[in-house]
Structure 1
Amino acid sequence: MAKLAGKKYCADEECSHPISIALALEDYIPPDCRFIDVRKGQTVFIYSKLKGQGRLFWYGTVQGGYYEEREAKLGYFPSSIVQETQVLKEPTEELPTTNWDFYCE
């Protein structure tokens, strides 16, 4: 799969700490397995934000509704479909992306 961007912003070097919490403003149906399904009204935890060419995409997971009975999945979604409601930790780390950031089966 093609890389969406060459760099990303994270709250820590492993991108393991959520940057912020957001509310989904609309549904999003993913085009491929790099992305996640998001439903209006869901809470989204944001772990990284792409920089440069792919800056309109963020990486995270959703909670509630659609995923309640399934294991949570991490993936990309357009930043335009969510509204950040709480900043948990500033994204101070600018890191290069790798092929694994965009790997899907």
Structure 2
Amino acid sequence: MWHGLAHGVGLVSVIAAASATLATAWLLTRPSGARARVSTAGGVPSAIAAWGMARCAYLVPVPLTVPDGAHTTLRRLALVTLVAVVFVTSAVALL
């Protein structure tokens, strides 16, 4: 996972997420913190994209057949969707 975050597209997403985080922190120190929502809305998807790019090689196991993979894939998709909804909802609620 570390290699995926430190090289290639994962690194670009990490840099984008870090930049958005720094921009959010800076914008929150300003008198009007309303613009911080925009940078936060860019930072959260960038962090999720960085994780996805780092895990890209491991998202689909190699010895996978269609009948075996359908059930597993749907369970993983439901889990990832649930986690994304929790993170995005909590981020929006805190704003």
TM-score range, shorter-chain basis? under 0.3
In terms of fraction of residues, the more strand-rich structure is 1
In terms of fraction of residues, the more helix-rich structure is 2
TM-score using structure 2 length: 0.25
| Structure possessing the higher radius of gyration over alpha carbons | 2
Instruction: Choose between structure 1 and 2 for higher RCO, CA contacts under 8 A separated by at least 6 residues.
Output: 1
TM-score using structure 1 length: 0.24
